[in-house]
Amino acid sequence: MQVKPRILITTQGWYYLFVVLFIVGGAIMREVNMLVILSGMLFGPLLLHWRLTISSLENLSFRRKFNNPTMAGVETRMEILLENHHRRWGSWFVQVHDRIRKVNQGSTADASEIQLAVPFVFASSVAKIPFTWDIAQRGIYEMGPLYIESRFPFGLVRARRTLRERESIIVCPQLGRLTPQWRRVIESDHHGLSGSFSRQGRSEGDYYAMRQWRSGDSTRWIHWRTTARLGELMVRQYEQQRDRAVGIVLDLSELTAEIQNADLNQQNHHAVVIEIAVSMVATIVNDLCSRNGSHFSLTIAGTTASHFSATPSQNVTRAVLESLAVVNPGNGEALRDSFQWLSHEGQQGMTVVIVSTRSKQQAITQLDQINNSATNVTQQDWSLQDALWIDCQNHLEVDRFFQPYETTNTTSAEQTPQQNDEQGDALKQPAHVEAEMSRATEEASH
Amino acid sequence: MKVERYLQICTAAVAVIGSLLLGIGERAPELPLMMLMAALTSVIFTDILGWLRLPKIIANIFMIFIAVIAFSDFFNSTSQLQLYAVANLLVYVQIVILFQQKTARLYGHLAVFSLLQVVVASLLNVGVIFGALLFVYLVFAFLALSLFNVYRQISVMEKANHQSTLLSAQSATTNTQSSEWAFLMRDRPRGRTGIGLRSVGDQTIATGFFRYIIGIGMIVMVFTMVFFYCIPRTGNSAWHHPGLSSAGRTGMTREITLGQVGQILADDRLALRVSFTDEKINEPYEVAGDPYLSGTVLTRYVPKRGSANWLPTGLAVGSTALTLESVRNIPLGHDLVRQDITVEVVHNPKSVFGDPLLPAVYPIYAARNTPEQVRYDPFSRQLFLNVGPGKTIVDQYRYSVVTTAFSKQNQQTVTPVYAFDRRSQDTLRRKIRAALELPAEVQSLTEFTRDLLIQRRVDTSSSILIARDLENYLTSQELFTYSLSQFGIERDLTIDPVLDFVMNHRTGHCEYFASALALMLRSQGIPARIVIGYHGGEYNKIGEHFKFRNSDAHAWVEMFIPPETLPALDVVIESTGLAGAWVLLDPTPSRDEQLERTLYDEVVDSFEYAQLLWDNYVLTMDPQQQEEALRKLGINNIGAKDLGVSTRLLKSIGIDFDQGLLRSLAKPQSLLIFLLVISLLLGAGRWIKLIRWGGLLRFARPRNTRLRTQQASVMFYRRMEKFFTRRGQPRYASQTQREYAIELTQWLCESEQESDIVKIPNQVVDLFYAVRFGDSDVSPEQLLVVENCLSSLSHRVRKNPKRLT
């Protein structure tokens, strides 16, 4: 709910007022006509300024415009829309202040602020102030309060309007890049996994690229027009559609109490491990959902266990990412529930991948402690021994399948305010991520 | 940044204009020149190129040095020079600051010092050019202040954003084992503006900024004028602008000073009004021609080095102010005419007794209603207002006297003198003796006049003929030129100014002409004196009175002729006790017959008129003029009567300005009235809005719970709509609330929500319809239920975002 402008005299305004009162007092008491003129010239601007600042903000409505959810590690573009409802008068140099802070399990972290400005909002028009938040960590962030302020023209009086309502934005985990090794895991039994897939029909599948002819290619694949243009045989490349059943388990466990109390570095390292695990699973799900036809089952063992079983689609991607955005590590016991669920819900012959923040042995040991029979969970669909266990504590193991996506943002600590300020849209972001975001946004809006 | 560059230039310009204002007041052109050089140099070498920037310590040393010099001047000077010392200090300090690298603090200092400069300048300046420059200063000051605001805000915002970014960078923890993921641990988001703040600042000043500020300047000028004319005055101004005096302006004065270089300004302020009435039949008396109203008689000519003064006759020994005598005999053929005169007493020069002079057509006698305060000194021939000790001089004074000067509507130029007793004869002899005195410095006039008379073949045996011929000689426009200005006249400062006038440049105003004639007559042994008064005026047909302005002040000559010469004048005068007569002579050429005016004269006159308006309506504004100015604007009700009403009203609540302005303002009643006026002004906009939009009617409506709950339930619906709009389910304009609720229900079902959640939209819409269209009351319990539903919806959605897809 927007409130009427609050008016305050600034520090400079107080100094100015003091000088004005001094001169006005002297002029009136001593009746020096020239001083009376001067005091009128000083008093008038103060009154005029007061009215101008009020009218400047009174007719403005403002709100944020942003995509929700967004993704960590990439620029979250937002806009502040200022709409001037006045028919004739514009508003000069309106300043906007916004805040964002992470909300984590009910508590809030320190807020980051940004201050923006717009030179002029024309009458009966909308001014857009673009800006970006570079949010590194996933989670739910709360934005606000948002307020606009004007001190134009003289800076003696300040008017402010505040939008007290907070808005939330979900920041999904940052996506990375899956290595070709991962592809082999999904598409073959290279690691001895009991995977199953079936081809769909006799068609070569969907066309997706052009390449040079090589021995063994069917002549029906030759693209004659391109061949004539390039002067060498070029064939269409097809993707064979294969139904892949994948089961993903995300095991997020906290550090043991002893380690937590002992070493801050260990804590920090474990926090990074958790983020790696979440990011990897997010990337995997995103990848699976972009390849239509595969069914996947995802179970997250964090504070509690949560499960997804769906045919990949953009909506599913979004739902999973939003879930991953807020997932927190638990004590590790939820893994048992995840396994059980996967056993019930998983498809026959699915490939099971367990992304964990601990080693397999650690997990099994804990599960043993909980339930002796847990390690022997086998189902007709999968077994723990056949599943691919990725221990995110092991950097090399992670690197085999997953790479974080590099961003080109410079270290802003070394930059001057001017450089920071002028960078504007210099940040690059992964094209595919941007595409994902825009697709997700369009789906959400429809 | 363009903003900063413009700010530097505007600040320098403000400093220069402030120094110019000061320089004009001090009449010291070196100050603004020095400041101009310093400003130009500092902008180029300090601000733009950065070659010359005084370190802080050096600047402070300079400041101390300047302060020491200024204070030593201050304590060793008189009050006006103390002001100069302060002004010079401000200039030098600004120069030192200009050569430092500018920060927000220094810009602030420059602004304050510049303002102080203008304050000092306003105490010293009297010229209209000051007013024009003040407007220019105002515009530049607003520009500088506004640019400073933009610059400062941008700096503050940049700093804040940078600080936020630094904090965000510091929050990132590093991990040597997985350093490429360290940025993930930065839990504080980092914001980045889409458009640079500096470019925002530059765009601000590019979007009609300067026009906007100039517009503000004009509005402030209008406000200033209203403020200036509405602020209450008591007429007890404690400051007298140096150089502002009645000298140099037309108007009746107590003495004449000749030999001044400069321009005399034609002052069009009203001096007096006079209506003539035939005392016998009490009907308006038509006067043919322009009457001469005498104010004072100047007999003593006192030459000085390069100048000369005409002074009134001093008080006679044992002289006392007498009441006017009633007329005894009306000369044959003359009419007894009553003069009803209203004079602006404040502007009148003082009599020999120190009281305001009252002009009139002479000879004068007491009328039936002549006030007792009107007194007459026969020796100095001055009529004046006997104010009395401890009494306030009022602005206007009205009095009536009668005269026998008119015969058949014409004012006679011969005023007979009667001496019935020895005392009056002695007095007359003394007057005649005084009127014959010719100082040594003008003795050469004797020979000159004699030669002139011979050349013109005048019969020197007749004083009348001599006088007439000399009068004709001086009024000849081929020989003499009338002008109020002494600019461009080559004067010989070694000789008497009257001699110089007669023999050399022959250009002057009525005082010169009258002085010349008087002295020339004296050189021929004819007693002559100068009379200052009013001549001309405008006749107001509707009011049937003559209106005399200060510009109608005039000087002419009276010469004394013995009784035996009177028959030559062909006048009929009572001969009993006749001792002679004073004959009016006016040697000043008629102003209507001036030589052709050039464009230069027009420009000069325009400037003079502007200066006069400035003096009259600004510098010397007093309560009377304030009232007159407001009356001219059509605020006719402000008159003495209404002022009296308002004064009585104020006095009734204990505010009496007669006790002193400060004392009156210090009372609680004054403060209360002031606060009331201010709050009315401040709330005027709101009051207008309320009235305009029927807000008062809203206030008049009963505020009851029913109204509040209705509004509250509608608000609930709005909240629900907003909630779902954010989640991608807006209500389209063509949808009714019910249709919308159905759609939401369907959507919630598809999203696998619990049944209680699914029911919420319909529940809210039911309530909405009941209140909005059914005019039913909503209980607080129902409101609470709806509130809980919405809270649970919001809570559940946030808790399990995955559910809502």
Q: What is the mean pLDDT of residues B386-404?
A: 72
200-219 of B, contacting A, C-beta below 8 A: 200-201, 203-204, 206-207, 209, 212-213, 216, 219
Q: Walk across the sheet containing A126-134 and list its strands.
A: A60-66, A75-84, A126-134, B190-193
Bridge partners for A322 per DSSP: none
How many inter-chain contacts (A to B, CB under 8 Å) are there? 296
- Tell me the whole-structure pTM to 2 decimals: 0.61
Contacts of B801 in chain A (CB under 8 A): 170, 319, 322-323, 325-326
A153 and B146 within 8 Å at the Cβ level: the answer is yes
B108 touches chain A (CB under 8 A): yes
Three-point CA angle A369, A373, A374, nearest 5°: 70
140-199 of B, contacting A, C-beta below 8 A: 142, 145-146, 148-150, 152-154, 157-162, 164-173, 175, 177-178, 180-199
B158 and A417 within 8 Å at the Cβ level: the answer is yes
For A134, which residue in chain B has the nearest alpha carbon? B190
For B663, which residue in chain A has the nearest alpha carbon? A29
Contacts of A318 in chain B (CB under 8 A): 805
For B138, which residue in chain A has the nearest alpha carbon? A41
Residues of chain A falling short of pLDDT 50: 1-2, 189-203, 241, 373-375, 377-380, 407-414, 420-421, 423-434, 440, 444-446
CA neighbor of B520 nearest in space, from B480, B575, B571: B480
Res B152: pLDDT: 92
The whole-angstrom separation of Cα A144 and Cα A159 is 18
Query: In chain A, what is the straight-line distance between the N-terminal and C-terminal CA atoms, in Å?
Result: 27
Contacts of A10 in chain B (CB under 8 A): none
DSSP H helical segments within B273-347, as ranges? none
pLDDT tens track for B157-192:
999 988 888 887 776 644 444 456 666 667 688 888
More confident residue, B369 or B554: B554
What is the dihedral sign for C-alpha B408, B414, B417, B418?
negative
B89: pLDDT confidence band, cut at 50, 70 and 90?
Answer: confident
Considering only the beta carbons, identify the residue of B152, B190, B239 that sits closest to A412.
B190
A34 and B148 within 8 Å at the Cβ level: the answer is no
- Residue type for position B334: H
The whole-angstrom separation of Cα A77 and Cα B597 is 75
Distance set, CA B606 to CA A244, B495, B619 (Å): 99, 33, 18
Residues 6+ apart with CB under 8 A from A27: A35, A36, A38, A39, B231
**What is the Cα A33 distance to its own chain's centre?**
66
Res B246: pLDDT: 40
A421 and B134 within 8 Å at the Cβ level: the answer is no
| Cis peptide bond prior to B563, omega within 30° of 0 | no
The H or E element that residue B724 is part of is helix B705-726
The whole-angstrom separation of Cα B265 and Cα B259 is 16
What is the dihedral sign for C-alpha A11, A14, A16, A22?
negative
Least confident stretch, A148-152, B49-53, B506-510, B608-612: B608-612
A131 and B194 within 8 Å at the Cβ level: the answer is yes
Contacts of B161 in chain A (CB under 8 A): 113-115, 417, 420-421
The whole-angstrom separation of Cα A396 and Cα B772 is 66
Considering only the beta carbons, identify the residue of B115, B150, B233 that sits closest to A19.
B115
Q: What is the mean pLDDT of residues B764-792?
A: 77
The H or E element that residue A155 is part of is none
Q: A206-212 and A234-239 as β-strands: parallel, antiparallel, unpaired? A: antiparallel
A379: its two tokens: 């189902």
B616 touches chain A (CB under 8 A): no
Res A250: pLDDT: 93
Res B17: pLDDT: 92
Contact status, residue A437 vs residue B721, Cβ threshold 8 Å: no
The whole-angstrom separation of Cα B126 and Cα B611 is 9
A420 and B204 within 8 Å at the Cβ level: the answer is no
Interface test with B, best of A7, A34, A303, A445 (most B CBs within 10 A): A34
On the question of pLDDT at B149 being above 90, the answer is yes
The whole-angstrom separation of Cα A144 and Cα B602 is 68
Interface test with B, best of A12, A35, A41 (most B CBs within 10 A): A41
Considering only the beta carbons, identify the residue of B154, B192, B195 that sits closest to A134.
B192
Considering only the beta carbons, identify the residue of B149, B184, B201 that sits closest to A151.
B149
Res A292: pLDDT: 59
Q: What is the mean pLDDT of residues B390-405?
A: 74
Q: What is the DSSP letter of B29?
A: T
pLDDT tens track for B312-341:
876 555 555 577 788 777 777 888 999 998
The whole-angstrom separation of Cα A13 and Cα A233 is 79
The whole-angstrom separation of Cα B664 and Cα A29 is 11
B420 touches chain A (CB under 8 A): no
DSSP H helical segments within B332-443, as ranges? 422-434
Distance set, CA B611 to CA B129, B401, B553, B618, B661 (Å): 8, 36, 19, 10, 30
The whole-angstrom separation of Cα B85 and Cα B67 is 10
Å between A88 CA and nearest CA of chain B: 14
A32 and B662 within 8 Å at the Cβ level: the answer is no
Considering only the beta carbons, identify the residue of A112, A418, A423 that sits closest to B168.
A112
A131 and B216 within 8 Å at the Cβ level: the answer is no
B185 and A275 within 8 Å at the Cβ level: the answer is yes
Q: What is the DSSP string of A282-300?
A: HHHHHHHHHSTT-EEEEEE
Å between B465 CA and nearest CA of chain A: 54
B397: pLDDT confidence band, cut at 50, 70 and 90?
Answer: confident
A33 and B237 within 8 Å at the Cβ level: the answer is yes
B293: pLDDT confidence band, cut at 50, 70 and 90?
Answer: very high
The whole-angstrom separation of Cα B260 and Cα B497 is 9
Rg (CA), chain A: 30
Res A129: pLDDT: 92
Bridge partners for A143 per DSSP: A100, A167
Q: What is the DSSP string of B585-644?
A: E--SPPGGGPPPP-HHHHHHHHHHHHHHHHIIIIIT--HHHHHHHHHHTT-TT-SHHHHH
pLDDT tens track for B398-413:
888 999 999 888 998 8
The whole-angstrom separation of Cα B589 and Cα B554 is 12
For A140, which residue in chain B has the nearest alpha carbon? B798
B164 and A112 within 8 Å at the Cβ level: the answer is yes
Largest CA distance in chain A: 108
pLDDT tens track for B431-479:
899 899 999 988 999 999 999 999 999 888 888 899 999 999 999 878 8
Res A369: pLDDT: 73
The H or E element that residue B318 is part of is none
Contact status, residue A437 vs residue B177, Cβ threshold 8 Å: no
Three-state DSSP state, B776 = coil
B594: its two tokens: 């001036």
Contact status, residue A137 vs residue A72, Cβ threshold 8 Å: yes
A12 and B108 within 8 Å at the Cβ level: the answer is yes
On the question of pLDDT at B667 being above 90, the answer is no
The whole-angstrom separation of Cα A46 and Cα A41 is 9
The whole-angstrom separation of Cα B28 and Cα B91 is 12
B223 and A315 within 8 Å at the Cβ level: the answer is no
B546: its two tokens: 């003559």
Contacts of B212 in chain A (CB under 8 A): 92, 153
Binning chain A into helix, strand and coil, the percentages to the nearest 5 are 40, 30, 30
A215: its two tokens: 């021995």
Contact status, residue B117 vs residue B87, Cβ threshold 8 Å: yes
Contacts of B172 in chain A (CB under 8 A): 136
Residues 6+ apart with CB under 8 A from B545: B273, B274, B275, B340, B539
A272 and B661 within 8 Å at the Cβ level: the answer is no
Res B237: pLDDT: 52
Residues 6+ apart with CB under 8 A from B703: none
B219 and A48 within 8 Å at the Cβ level: the answer is yes
Å between B114 CA and nearest CA of chain A: 12
Res A118: pLDDT: 92
For A55, which residue in chain B has the nearest alpha carbon? B685
Å between B766 CA and nearest CA of chain A: 24
The whole-angstrom separation of Cα A248 and Cα A316 is 14
B165 and A73 within 8 Å at the Cβ level: the answer is no
The whole-angstrom separation of Cα B799 and Cα B805 is 14
Res A102: pLDDT: 87
Considering only the beta carbons, identify the residue of B149, B160, B204 that sits closest to A113.
B160
CA neighbor of B270 nearest in space, from B344, B356, B360, B359: B344
B220 and A44 within 8 Å at the Cβ level: the answer is yes
The whole-angstrom separation of Cα B112 and Cα B90 is 10
